Structure formats: C-alpha cells, structure tokens
Structure 1
Amino acid sequence: MTTDVTTIKVQGLLFDNDGVLIDSTAAVEASWRAFASWYDLPADEVLARVHGRRSRDVIGAYSDRLPVPPDEAFRRYIEACVSDFADVTVLPGAAELISALPVSGWAVVTSGTAVVTQARMAAAGLSAPPVIITADDVPVGKPDPAPYRIASERLQLDPADCLVIEDSPAGLSSAHAAGCRTLGLLTTHHQHELEADFYASNLSDVRAIENGRFSVTVEGARRHR
C-alpha cells in the first residue's frame, strides 16, 4: 500500500449521503435510541446494525420482538427522523465538490428514505442532485448491489465506469457487487474496516473535473496494490 496522488477517470460519480456528504450521526443515533426505547430493545445492539442499511430492513430484523407491526414501527421512526435536523451538518469538502459538478452524470445513492434524505440535505445546505436513489427506489438495500445498479441504469452508464464514494462496509459491498469502482472515505470507519479500491480522509481530498468524462483527483490517496 502506498500514499500518493491518484487520478481516476470515470463516466459517473455515485455518492452515498450520510457519512460522505453530510454528518447526521448525532441525529441518526438519537432517532435509533428513541426507537429502541419505545420497544425496550438494547440501543447499542440496534445502533450496531444501522450504518449503511435501510431503516425498514433494520426494523424488520426486530419484527419478532416488536409489540406492533413493523410497518407501524417504521412510520413512527420516520416521523421522529423528520422532526429535528439541528444536528445535521455538511462534511468537509462536500459543498465545494458538489457545487463544482455539472447538472448530469452523478447521483446520490442512500439507504435513507426520500423524505428523510431530502430534509437532511436541505438542512445541511446542499442542493438536490440530478439523480437520487433512496430506500424507496430499491427492492433490497445495501449491501445488495441493487442500489448502485439502479443508479447506474438511471444515469445510463455501465457500473464499471462509475466511481462510488462510500464510508460504510455495507455500502462498499453493494458497490463492489454492482461492479463499480470504489473510493472509501474514512469519516465513520477505520481503513481496516473498509474494502475499497482507493481511500481518502474526506471529500476535502477529492477534486472532480468533467470534460466528457470525470477526472477525479484524490490527494494523499491510499490504494490497495
């Protein structure tokens, strides 16, 4: 493994949202701790399941321990999520990179629902992407390849010609299974917990220039040989 400056040429950029563009860790933890308290579930166990996964899938894993139907628990959880965004902030480099991108060729691919994702991005001051794939758009969430395959299709691109920028093991597994190249950000996990083609601390290390194709420069990139 070496440390250097790397240039990656691709047709499309696919960004995860939480942990890549925005920091909603405090808000996410608060909402899941509330969920755990409603149904007398161990909060730390719940939190260990959630990163990079759809909330519906997390709640479904507890269906046999819930006193209400999972759909009812899901609706209550979403209502709690959209009630308070005071702790949502934009991550370093995200606003600058997003503002420099063209009006096509990139997407946000998130495990969050559309209503929660749109509210969190707005709270962080980020404009809506040209394409957004949420938990509402996929039959199966990350780590299944469906989210990134669908995003590539929506952009009319080959997954192999897309760079996925992710921070979670589940998200990177989804991207690899879809056939995409990957850039792992070390915003929420240590490098040894992630399996990516390239790594960067955060989006402050990343630049993207579009001229028919994206030329993505990662400063201080750490790459597996």
Structure 2
Amino acid sequence: MVKAILFDLDGTLADTDPLHLLAWREVLRPYGLTVDPAFYRERISGRLNPEIVRDLLGLEGEEAESLIAAKEARFRELAQGLKPLPGLPEFLERIREKGLSWGVVTNAPKENAHHVLKALGLKPPLLILAEEVGRGKPDPLPYRVALERLGVAPEEALAFEDSPSGVRSAVGAGIPTYALLTGHGVEALLEAGAKGVFRDFREALSLL
C-alpha cells in the first residue's frame, strides 16, 4: 500500500531543463563549450554542480564556486513565471485526499530549490537537499533519508524522476519509480530502472 510520494524537482514538478540549458550555455561559452540539448542530457542533467564543472573544465575551489554561482543566478533570473507540469495540481490534490505523505528530493542548490518551489506556489512537507545530506543522485542516500524522515518503507513509496541519474537514485533506495519525459528518452529511463514513463502527471493519476 502506497503511503508516500516523493518527487524530484527540476524537470519533474516543472519543465525547468530548457532554462538550465540556457544558463549553462551562457556560462560555458567563454570556455569554448557548446551546450546543445544532447550535450546537456549526457553531461549535465541530473548531476551535482561541482561534479559538472570538475568533469567539463577541471575546475575546483573558488573558480568553480564562482562559475556555479553565476550559472545559478542566471537560472533564477530566467525562472520567472514557472508553471507546474500539466496534471501536477490534480495529482497533489489526489495525494491530499488520500492522506498520503509527500516530499521533494533534489540535487538542486538550496537557493534554487526554494526559488522554484515558491514560483510554483508549493510548500512540500519534506524537502531533501542533496547538498545537506552529503551525497547527491545517483547515490541512493537522498531518497533513503527521505524514507527515514517520513517513516515509510521503500515499497510503501512511489518516486517520480526525469533523469536516469535520478531514477537510479530512487531505485537504488528500493522505491518503485516512474519517470517524466521532459528531457530524456524512454529507453534511457527504463534502462535506469523506471517502472514506466509518463508525458506528464495527467497520465500518472491512475497510479493513485
């Protein structure tokens, strides 16, 4: 029996990936990198910022932090007037009606997470930030912490993700996981362990 629903944030509650892509494109252009959708999907999506800049540019320390800060500030400038993914308000209402617990589990930096949630008008009862638990997705730790705080077993939860990295994190914690097709292909998401894929939450309502 399902007792809790856990959501990723970016690309899951709202289709923010195009804005992240644009922000990364702007800050990486001076380094000679071209960020197109395929590059974003393969090298950036679902990863923690320090890993991204270390992998792409070999940067660490203050220079890395400065680049990340510039990218995230640009993202917040772009992320105005965000809209929830279609069907999300109805899905959250169904959660409320059934008395289920819910929360958000994200690799997003704290300031970004609060910015996006505020823009969407959402106040999740539980917010798990990878940077605060010590390890980010695809490591299962963020989801394990969420389960522990909600007091539910993995099989009593459902997770919704949009990237192979996120799916691997939730599945690694033992949670049945579904994926949204906002940025990645069906095959990659199923290979990562997703039980099924949906275009948006209108299609997912049948799960509750």
TM-score, normalization by structure 1: 0.78
1:191–1:43 Cα change, 3 Å = closer
The within-5 A match list for 1:18-167 is 18-44=10-36, 47=40, 48-64=42-58, 69-86=63-80, 88-102=82-96, 105-123=101-119, 125-167=120-162
The alpha-carbon deviation at position 74 of structure 1 amounts to 2.0
User: Which runs of structure 1 show a deviation greater than 6 angstroms over 4 or more consecutive aligned residues?
Assistant: none
Aligned CA RMSD, in angstroms, stands at 2.4
Secondary structure of 2:135's counterpart equals: coil
Give percent identity, aligned residues only.
Answer: 30
Counterpart of 1:180 (choices 156, 175, 181) is 175
The alpha-carbon deviation at position 31 of structure 1 amounts to 0.9
Equivalent residue letter for 2:70: R
* Structure-2 separation of matches of 1:156 and 1:33: 41
Secondary structure of 1:13's counterpart equals: strand
* Structure-2 separation of matches of 1:191 and 1:184: 9
Larger Rg, first or second structure (1 or 2)? 1
Secondary structure of 1:22's counterpart equals: coil
Report which stretch shifted further, 73-82 or 161-170: 73-82
Equivalent residue letter for 2:107: S
1:65–1:40 Cα change, 3 Å = farther
How many residue pairs get aligned? The number is 201
Secondary structure of 1:157's counterpart equals: coil
Question: 1:138-175 CA deviation, whole Å, 9 max, x = no partner?
Answer: 31211111111111112122223211111211111111
Gaps of 5+ in 1: 1-8, 209-215, 218-225
Kindly indicate which of the two structures has a greater share of residues assigned to strand.
Answer: 1
TM-score, normalization by structure 2: 0.84
